[in-house]
Amino acid sequence: MTTREPSRCVTPQDALLNWAYCREEGADPVGDAFRVCVNGAAPSERMARYGELKQRLNAAARGELNLDPSVIELKEVARDPTLWEIRWSLGGVPWRLYHGEPAVMPRHLLALHFHQKVTEGDDAAIKHAQNQEIDVATLRYVRGAGSRWGVP
């Protein structure tokens, strides 16, 4: 068994890493999902939600995400070792961002899929739903590698 390299998100950086959003046929599915998350909040809460998203993304780009097990801002995706999961609770609702850290883009974090976590149902149903979300990110990672995920 090989040991996984630590995420760039927890390795302090001398300069900010760049976030790149995976593109699909000219679309920006991650950016669209961020907008759904922010715009889905009550008008009085939208700026706070936007701020929480931006704060965690910036902390990741600085390599300063918290590894404290009581907080868990970042988690390895055991099902796919090319992916990492960044976690938020926004308005009491869990949201997840799956991202990659491709070797061909050493100064980037590659956002692949952002979604609201399913929390209803039994453990098996929740795990199945989570695995489907991971599969979306994995498919984007694999399909986009040849074009550098649409990132110039």
Specify the number of domains making up the chain.
1
- Provide the angle, in degrees to the nearest 10, between the axes of the packed helices 46-62 and 29-39: 140
Residue 152 within any structural domain of the chain: no
Longest dimension (CA), the chain: 49
Residue 13 within any structural domain of the chain: yes
User: What pTM value is reported for the model?
Assistant: 0.93
Residue 3 within any structural domain of the chain: no
What does the pLDDT read at residue 1?
A: 41
Residue 92 within any structural domain of the chain: yes
Residue 151 within any structural domain of the chain: no
| 108 closest CA partner among 22, 47, 6 | 22
Residue 103 within any structural domain of the chain: yes
Task: Please report, for residues 7, 111, 152, the alpha-carbon distance to residue 74 in angstroms, rounded to integers and kept in the order given.
Answer: 9, 14, 27
- The rounded average pLDDT for each run of 10 residues, N- to C-terminus, in the chain (152 residues) is 80 92 90 96 95 96 87 90 95 96 95 96 96 97 92 84
Distance in angstroms (rounded) separating the CA atoms of residues 127 and 123? 6
Distance in angstroms (rounded) separating the CA atoms of residues 111 and 39? 19
Backbone φ and ψ of 7, nearest 5°: -65, 150
Tell the residue number behind the tokens 């920006």, with chain if given: 28
Residue 150 within any structural domain of the chain: no
